Amino acid sequence: MNKNVYLVELFQKDYKETWDLQTELLKGIVDLKIRNRRENKNLKTDNYFLFVEHPHVYTLGKSGSMNNLLLNEEQLKNKEASFYKINRGGDITYHGPGQIVGYPILDLENFFTDIHKYLRFLEEMIIKVIGEYGLKGERSEGETGVWLDVGTPFARKICAMGIKASRWVTMHGFALNVNTDLGYFDNIIPCGIKGKAVTSMEAELGKKVSLEEIKEKILKHFKSLFEINEFIKKASI
How is domain 4-234 classified at the CATH fold level? BirA Bifunctional Protein; domain 2 (3.30.930)
CA distance 123 to 237: 27
Q: Residue 191: its pLDDT value, please?
A: 58
The answer to whether 23 and 103 have CB atoms below 8 angstroms apart is: no
3-state SS, 156-193, equals EEEEEEEEEEECCEEEEEEEEECCCCHHHHHHECHHHC
Question: What would the pLDDT profile of 30-65 be if each residue is shown by its tens digit?
Answer: 999 999 999 999 999 999 999 999 999 999 988 788
Question: What would the pLDDT profile of 179-228 be if each residue is shown by its tens digit?
Answer: 999 999 999 886 555 667 999 999 999 999 999 999 999 999 999 999 99
Q: What is the mean pLDDT of the chain?
A: 94
Name the pTM for this structure.
Answer: 0.94
Q: Which helix (H) or strand (E) holds 198?
A: strand 197-198
CA distance 65 to 113: 30
Could you tell me the end-to-end alpha-carbon distance of the chain, in angstroms, rounded to an integer?
22
159 belongs to the catalytic site: no
Q: Residue 160: its pLDDT value, please?
A: 94
Which of the following is catalytic: 7, 100, 188, 191?
191
